[in-house]
Amino acid sequence: MKLSTYTLLRRSLSEQQLSLITRFLFGTSLVLIIALSYSYNEINQELVNYSEKVNQTQHVISGLNKLSSAIYETTYHADSYIFLKDTVYINKTLAAIKVVPEITKKIDSLIKDDGAQRKRLNFLKEHAGKFCDYSERLSRPATLINPGAVNALYKRKNEEIASMIKLIGEMNKLEDQLMYTRLQSRDNYMQQVYRYNWIIMLVAVVFLSSAFVLLDRELRRNKFYRVDLENKIENLNRSNSELEQFAYVASHDLQEPLRKIRSFSDRLVAKYKSELSGEVFQMLEKIDNSAQRMQNLISDLLSFSRIVKTGTEAKIINLNTCLSEAKSNLSEVIMENKASIHSESLPSVEGYNSQIVQLFQNLLSNSIKYRHENVRPVIRITHRLVDGEIIPGVKPSHQDIQFHQIKFADNGIGFKKEFADKIFIIFKRLHARNEFAGTGIGLAICKRVVSNHNGYIFAESTEGEGSNFYIYLPTESMLT
């Protein structure tokens, strides 16, 4: 990666800030898109309502036009009968009369919500009723016998026609105005809503584009981190390889001179024992003890290096079996010190069998070693399930999972509380070598084993009252 890109990434927002901003932009864009979808749905509903109202107005206008046609048709047939005396027009007049109330009834159903139009329609229905009555009476043959009656009915009919035409004209005018108003409102609404939706769409596009830019920047930075991590892993593997080579040298080339030192020291003591002074004999003994201590240190270092590298694949192991194996390995020490070990039933976990055995063995050995003089060591091992959030210093990703808590409690000499963390440091000792043997690696190995299993280990103690070691191993499979 070029330096300029690296500089750009260093100057960019922090990973947490970038993640929060990206989420905010995506979330806001999603809300805007949902609002846009909802708005389109509302638009469609409103347009449907406007269309229904426009159609209703059109149907009212159409009904009024049909009513006018029915009035004219009735008048035409009635007048034809009066002037032509042709009975054919009687049935035509009666048929036309029947249509009038049907049309007014249909118009009535369309203007239920319009009070002014309903008032006019009521007047129109009243005039239409009289008009139909006069037309029907004029179509009777008996009426034609009396010219005076014909003239009177004809005059009244024409008056009703004039009233109806006037009312129909007024109603048509109002419906035309209503049609214009509704069409204008619909067009204005569509323009405003479309303008509003375009604004929302543009804002959503801007937010999505910004989120895309930030996401792209985060991906590029992650790529840089990945490359950097791969380089570090490669360097770490190289270092591990060099450490393995060092371990091989330590196990062979370093121990060989120590064995020779001890061998020649033993030969000197055996061959010249009678000739050596007490001071020289003590010096040779110190040489032998120092060489042996160096051999023990190298051996423990090799054990620690083997723990660092797992080597084998993880599998489901029974902790009861591991504990039994650890006790078997320490059987002589346990019998020699008359140690009493009490254990509850332990669970099965995913892990490395040899490492768990080493863990239990080191903890048992530690409890037996640091005992009160002339007091029989008693070790109690218990188990319970706990939530990750109660573990001190637990990783955030481990807070929501459960752990097996395995507790080793002893009645040993204990230690001061301020050493609870230091005892897990490699080569860290709390006592002089002449008090208790050891190299100070045992508990460091325990910590490494637990770490290899994505777990935690802690110790608590009161000096002179024994110690408690808490091991936390995850219940879920977390090893790869």
Structure confidence at residue 310 (pLDDT): 57
Res. 300 pLDDT band, cuts 50 70 90: low
Burial of 192 (0-12, 13-18, 19+ CB in 10 A): exposed
Structure confidence at residue 11 (pLDDT): 42
Percentage of the chain surpassing pLDDT 70?
79
**In the predicted structure, residue 6 carries a pLDDT above the cut 50:** no
Task: Decide: helix, strand or coil at residue 210.
Answer: helix
Among 177, 212, 247, residue at a domain's last position: 212
Give the H or E element holding residue 464.
Answer: none
Res. 386 pLDDT band, cuts 50 70 90: very high
Distance CA 458, CA 447 (A): 9
Q: Is residue 197 part of a domain?
A: yes
- The residue with tokens 């573990």 is 391
What single-letter DSSP state applies at residue 390?
G
Distance CA 225, CA 243 (A): 26
Q: Which tokens hold the place of 55?
A: 């159609």
Distance CA 323, CA 363 (A): 11
**Angle, CA of 263, 269 and 274, to the nearest 5°:** 160
Distance CA 291, CA 295 (A): 6
Structure confidence at residue 2 (pLDDT): 39
Q: Is residue 356 part of a domain?
A: yes
Distance CA 354, CA 222 (A): 37
In this predicted model, what pLDDT tens digit does every residue of 26-37 receive, in sequence order? 677 777 777 766
Mean pLDDT across 333-349 = 91
What single-letter DSSP state applies at residue 456?
E
Mean pLDDT across 75-104 = 79
Distance CA 413, CA 422 (A): 17
**In the predicted structure, residue 320 carries a pLDDT above the cut 90:** yes
Q: Is 343 left (phi over 0), alpha (psi -120 to 50) or beta?
A: beta
User: Which of 299-313 are b and which e, b meaning 16 or more Cβ less than 10 Å from the residue's Cβ?
Assistant: ebbeebbbbbebeee
Q: Which tokens hold the place of 243?
A: 């450490």
Q: What is the CATH number of the domain that holds 148?
A: 1.20.120.240
Highest mean pLDDT pick, 10-24, 101-115, 274-288: 101-115
Highest mean pLDDT pick, 56-70, 143-157, 170-184, 362-376: 362-376
What single-letter DSSP state applies at residue 438?
-
Burial of 408 (0-12, 13-18, 19+ CB in 10 A): buried
Residues 349 and 470 in one domain: yes
Res. 375 pLDDT band, cuts 50 70 90: confident
Mean pLDDT across 239-250 = 68
Mean pLDDT across 325-345 = 91
Structure confidence at residue 266 (pLDDT): 75
**In the predicted structure, residue 1 carries a pLDDT above the cut 50:** no
Distance CA 443, CA 180 (A): 92
Q: Which tokens hold the place of 57?
A: 């107005």
Distance CA 339, CA 331 (A): 10
Residues 160 and 33 in one domain: yes
Of 11, 30, 35, 134, the residue nearest 78 (C-alpha): 134
Residues 177 and 325 in one domain: no
Distance CA 376, CA 39 (A): 81
Q: Is residue 6 part of a domain?
A: no
Residues 204 and 331 in one domain: no
Res. 8 pLDDT band, cuts 50 70 90: very low
Residues 205 and 347 in one domain: no
Res. 61 pLDDT band, cuts 50 70 90: confident
Q: Is residue 269 part of a domain?
A: no
**In the predicted structure, residue 333 carries a pLDDT above the cut 80:** yes
Q: Is residue 114 part of a domain?
A: yes
Structure confidence at residue 321 (pLDDT): 94
Res. 7 pLDDT band, cuts 50 70 90: very low
Name the amino acid, one letter, at 386.
Answer: V
Q: Is residue 5 part of a domain?
A: no
Residues 26 and 153 in one domain: yes
Containing domain of residue 384, as a range? 313-479
Give the H or E element holding residue 376.
Answer: none
Q: Are 386 and 355 contacting, i.e. CB atoms less than 8 angstroms apart?
A: no
Structure confidence at residue 438 (pLDDT): 54
* C-alpha to C-alpha distances, 131 to 86, 101, 123, 143, 161, nearest whole angstrom: 21, 11, 12, 16, 7
Mean pLDDT across 189-206 = 74
**In the predicted structure, residue 147 carries a pLDDT above the cut 90:** no
Starting from the edge strand earliest in sequence, which strands make up the sheet with 456-461, in order?
340-343, 378-387, 402-410, 467-474, 456-461
Distance between start and end Cα atoms, the chain: 30
Among 168, 187, 212, residue at a domain's last position: 212
Mean pLDDT across 434-458 = 79
Q: Are 351 and 314 contacting, i.e. CB atoms less than 8 angstroms apart?
A: yes
**Angle, CA of 201, 203 and 209, to the nearest 5°:** 100
Residues 443 and 321 in one domain: yes
Residues 69 and 207 in one domain: yes
Distance CA 71, CA 97 (A): 8
Structure confidence at residue 226 (pLDDT): 81
In this predicted model, what pLDDT tens digit does every residue of 253-292 receive, in sequence order? 666 777 777 777 777 777 666 666 677 777 777 777 777 7
**In the predicted structure, residue 379 carries a pLDDT above the cut 80:** yes
Distance CA 412, CA 376 (A): 9
Q: Is residue 446 part of a domain?
A: yes
Instruction: Work out the mean pLDDT of the chain and round it to a whole number.
Output: 78
In this predicted model, what pLDDT tens digit does every residue of 37-52 receive, in sequence order? 676 667 667 766 767 7
Helices and strands, counts by H and E, the chain: 11, 7
Of 71, 134, 80, the residue nearest 103 (C-alpha): 71
Among 212, 241, 268, residue at a domain's last position: 212
**In the predicted structure, residue 301 carries a pLDDT above the cut 70:** no
Q: What is the CATH number of the domain that holds 416?
A: 3.30.565.10
Q: Domain total for the chain?
A: 2
Res. 19 pLDDT band, cuts 50 70 90: low
Structure confidence at residue 244 (pLDDT): 67
Strands 456-461 and 402-410: unpaired
In this predicted model, what pLDDT tens digit does every residue of 205-233 receive, in sequence order? 777 777 777 777 777 877 887 888 888 88
Q: Is residue 218 part of a domain?
A: no
Mean pLDDT across 60-65 = 83
**In the predicted structure, residue 119 carries a pLDDT above the cut 50:** yes
